[in-house]
Amino acid sequence: MGNSSSQMTIIIDENNGLSQNQMFEASEVYLRTKITPSVSRLKVSKAPREKNFSVTVNKGEKIIDAFEDIQVIWQVTCTENQKKSTDYEGGFSNENVERKSIELSFHKEHREKVLSSYLSYVLERAKAIKEEDKVVKLYSLGRFHGYYDGSWRSVNLDHPSTFDTLAMDPPLKKELMDDLDRFVKRREFYKRVGKAWKRGYLLYGPPGTGKSSLIAAMANYLKFHIYDLELTSLLSNSDLRSILASTANRSILVIEDIDCSSDFQKRQAGGNNNVDSQLTLSGLLNFIDGLWSSCGDERIIIFTTNHKDRLDPALLRPGRMDIHIHMSYCTPSGFKILASNYLGINNHSMFTEIEKLITEVEVTPAEIAEELMKSEDADTALEGLLNYLHTKEMEHGKANVEGEKEARGKEQESEEISSLQFCASRSREDPANPTTSILSEDPATIGKLPATVSRALSLPRESSDNPTSFGTL
Ligand SMILES: Nc1ncnc2c1ncn2[C@@H]1O[C@H](COP(=O)(O)OP(=O)(O)OP(=O)(O)O)[C@@H](O)[C@H]1O
């Protein structure tokens, strides 16, 4: 490195007054990746909830780094200072306090380059390294007596789902991954066009098609924390505001089963006029449009539902949810992904028959995964799956036959009813006609009717399981 008079040194202290020095933290993180076999002493630590060890360079150790055409030397130093402190009885005592610093030395002629480029490079690299090491967390609402208590509780997200393990048609998967990549790279774009840096997804499809698995895959891919929001545990619109304020940037907010929040719906029916003291659809929409947009950056919101048709159209309006993703029953390409994950095979003589059956019966990836897990031997597992699919096919066939029978029965009923109605209209014209008594609403008379007709007359006009959606509330 030449003689010492041509050298200069930058000192990076651990603290900057009372606040932490960001450059120190970044340098420590960066140096972790520059440890070479020549370094003889390392420091190792592990926080209770972290997965990996943290390895740092011990004081006195030197690390040489190269940046473009220059060479720099890093060294961790530590000085001990004495600090006066007061004891319980008001007396003074001396306390030894360690001050950690990192020194960066280089040739004087590189001063400009180090200050203007190298340090920013170290900051950027440290950010990327921290992002790679980030442990993704799953936050759920703290509760007291079943209701939100004003806090989020977190655990590490140990969900192993990734885009590789997800049974989803490859073109759709690619489209979604490209969309996520584009989204995280577009800070400047969102700023330029004056739009909040947010993205909304609606995942819909039957149970067991992988909606939760997809959310976990997205979180693992982006290294975004998940905030799982259950509407049923929120009492009011103001709850929504406060929970929003306490979520972090670079996170995914998930509102699951948006159509099935039965407790929430019952509470809606209470008819309280104070809009802030209850949770309402308009409160939720305001949240998506306004509050959500004005709070924080780089966030994703995901709604899931098993019944897209039950959602209020206001929720589906363009601009609210940017992308609607249909999680469908398993397809042949989805099956191949599962077979590769679960059995480690990409082909087998039974594949053709299995794939044919998969296109004929509705089977979820969850059902297929369960069958494939039953044996580590590919022949046995695939045989089991084949039996399972054949059974489903038979049930499906039976159900179809019964369905057709029922439909034929209904046709017959309606033919009988319409012929009776025809008689009735004729009888009104001619009161003497004997069919008049058949159409009276006297139960005794109805009892004498052929069974199908009496059933038809006693049925309520609208089906009672008409789903309740936000709209109907
Ligand atoms: N598309 C898929 N790819 C890979 N595995 C899947 C997929 N769908 C389901 N599975 C398997 O089935 C299990 C249940 O699926 P998951 O919970 O993701 O479905 P879901 O659509 O969210 O269901 P629900 O609507 O009941 O919450 C998963 O843990 C996973 O093992």
According to DSSP, the residues that pair with 95 across neighbouring strands are 83
Angstrom distance (rounded) from CA 99 to CA 77: 8
Ligand 1: residues within 6 Å at CB?
165-168, 207-213, 306, 327, 365-366, 369
Per-residue pLDDT, averaged over 266-286, amounts to 56
Lowest mean pLDDT among 170-174, 260-264, 330-334, 426-430: 426-430
Per-residue pLDDT, averaged over 273-282, amounts to 57
Which stretches of 256-295 are DSSP H helices?
262-268, 281-286, 292-294
What letter would DSSP give residue 5? G
Angstrom distance (rounded) from CA 12 to CA 119: 11
The reply to whether 304 and 161 lie within a common domain is yes
Using CA of residue 349, residue 353, residue 355, residue 356, what is the dihedral sign?
positive
Flag whether pLDDT at 228 surpasses 70. Answer: yes
pLDDT of 35 reads 87
Q: For residue 315, tell me if it sits in a domain.
A: yes
Rg (CA), the chain: 34
pLDDT digits (tens, 9 = 90+) for 334-376: 999 999 999 999 999 999 999 999 999 999 999 999 999 999 9
Per-residue pLDDT, averaged over 12-41, amounts to 88
Comparing CA positions, the residue from 202, 391, 407, 227 lying closest to residue 313 is: 202
Flag whether pLDDT at 418 surpasses 60. Answer: no
Q: For residue 340, tell me if it sits in a domain.
A: no
pLDDT of 292 reads 64
Domain boundary among 82, 115, 133: 133
pLDDT of 61 reads 86
pLDDT digits (tens, 9 = 90+) for 174-190: 999 999 999 999 988 98
Q: Ligand 1, residue 165: give the atom nearest the CA.
A: 4
Location of structure tokens 């709209």 = 471
Q: How far is the CA of 213 from the centre of ligand 1 (A)?
A: 5
Q: Ligand 1, residue 304: give the atom nearest the CA.
A: 25
Q: For residue 438, tell me if it sits in a domain.
A: no
The answer to whether residues 310 and 467 touch, using CB atoms and an 8 Å cutoff, is: yes
Q: Whose CA is nearest to atom 18 of ligand 1?
A: 210
pLDDT digits (tens, 9 = 90+) for 99-150: 889 999 999 999 999 999 999 999 999 999 888 878 899 998 887 776 667 7
The reply to whether 238 and 166 lie within a common domain is yes
Structure tokens at 320: 């609210």
pLDDT of 395 reads 87
Angstrom distance (rounded) from CA 31 to CA 2: 23
Alpha-carbon distances, residue 317 vs 215, 259, 288, 321, 351 (angstroms): 22, 16, 12, 7, 41
According to DSSP, the residues that pair with 1 across neighbouring strands are none
The reply to whether 105 and 26 lie within a common domain is yes
According to DSSP, the residues that pair with 81 across neighbouring strands are 97
In this predicted model, which residue has the larger pLDDT, 432 or 104? Answer: 104
Domain boundary among 326, 353, 388: 326
Structure tokens at 328: 């469908």
Question: For helices 332-343 and 351-360, what crossing angle results, to 10°?
Answer: 130
Comparing CA positions, the residue from 386, 202, 409 lying closest to residue 303 is: 202
pLDDT digits (tens, 9 = 90+) for 189-200: 988 888 888 898
Amino acid at site 313: P
The reply to whether 318 and 254 lie within a common domain is yes
Neighbours of 179 (CB within 10 A): 14
How far, rounded to the nearest angstrom, does the alpha carbon of residue 186 sit from its chain's CA centroid?
20
Q: How confident is the model at residue 208 (pLDDT cuts 50, 70, 90)?
A: very high
Q: For residue 377, tell me if it sits in a domain.
A: no
Per-residue pLDDT, averaged over 417-434, amounts to 39
The reply to whether 122 and 243 lie within a common domain is no
The reply to whether 12 and 128 lie within a common domain is yes
Long-range contacts (CB closer than 8 Å, 24 or more residues apart) made by 438-447: none
The reply to whether 151 and 98 lie within a common domain is no
Percent of the chain with pLDDT strictly greater than 70: 72
Flag whether pLDDT at 422 surpasses 50. Answer: no
- Which H or E element spans position 112? helix 111-113
Domain boundary among 79, 99, 133: 133
Angstrom distance (rounded) from CA 282 to CA 82: 61
The answer to whether residues 359 and 332 touch, using CB atoms and an 8 Å cutoff, is: yes
Q: For residue 361, tell me if it sits in a domain.
A: no
The reply to whether 257 and 173 lie within a common domain is yes
In this predicted model, which residue has the larger pLDDT, 335 or 272? Answer: 335
Angstrom distance (rounded) from CA 254 to CA 138: 10
Per-residue pLDDT, averaged over 264-269, amounts to 45
User: How many domains does the chain divide into?
Assistant: 2
pLDDT of 280 reads 66
Q: For residue 199, tell me if it sits in a domain.
A: yes
Angstrom distance (rounded) from CA 446 to CA 439: 8
pLDDT of 50 reads 67
Q: How far is the CA of 337 from the centre of ligand 1 (A)?
A: 14
Q: For residue 436, tell me if it sits in a domain.
A: no
Q: Whose CA is nearest to atom 25 of ligand 1?
A: 207
Q: Is the ipTM of this complex over 0.95?
A: yes
In this predicted model, which residue has the larger pLDDT, 408 or 450? Answer: 408
Angstrom distance (rounded) from CA 455 to CA 446: 9
The reply to whether 178 and 315 lie within a common domain is yes
Instruction: Print the domain residue range for 152.
Output: 137-326
Q: Ligand 1, residue 168: give the atom nearest the CA.
A: 1
pLDDT of 233 reads 66
Flag whether pLDDT at 270 surpasses 50. Answer: no
Q: How far is the CA of 344 from the centre of ligand 1 (A)?
A: 19
| Model pTM score | 0.70
The answer to whether residues 39 and 132 touch, using CB atoms and an 8 Å cutoff, is: no
Percent of the chain with pLDDT strictly greater than 90: 40
The reply to whether 166 and 69 lie within a common domain is no
Q: How far is the CA of 271 from the centre of ligand 1 (A)?
A: 37
Most confident of 127-131, 233-237, 282-286: 127-131
Q: For residue 105, tell me if it sits in a domain.
A: yes
The reply to whether 55 and 201 lie within a common domain is no
Flag whether pLDDT at 411 surpasses 90. Answer: no
Mean pLDDT of the chain: 78
The reply to whether 145 and 186 lie within a common domain is yes
Pairing of strands 198-204, 323-326: parallel
pLDDT of 147 reads 67
Flag whether pLDDT at 329 surpasses 60. Answer: yes
Flag whether pLDDT at 446 surpasses 90. Answer: no
CATH number of the domain residue 279 falls in: 3.40.50.300
Comparing CA positions, the residue from 288, 99, 138, 270 lying closest to residue 202 is: 288
Strand order in the sheet with 198-204: 147-156, 137-144, 225-229, 251-255, 299-305, 198-204, 323-326
Pick from 159, 168, 202, 209 the residue to mutate for probing ligand 1's pocket: most ligand atoms within 8 Å of its CB. Answer: 209
Neighbours of 127 (CB within 10 A): 12
Q: Ligand 1, residue 213: give the atom nearest the CA.
A: 18
Q: How confident is the model at residue 210 (pLDDT cuts 50, 70, 90)?
A: very high
Amino acid at site 442: D
Q: How confident is the model at residue 235 (pLDDT cuts 50, 70, 90)?
A: low
Q: Whose CA is nearest to atom 30 of ligand 1?
A: 366
Q: How far is the CA of 327 from the centre of ligand 1 (A)?
A: 10
Pick from 213, 325, 368 the residue to mutate for probing ligand 1's pocket: most ligand atoms within 8 Å of its CB. Answer: 213
Structure tokens at 13: 């202290």
Q: Whose CA is nearest to atom 13 of ligand 1?
A: 366
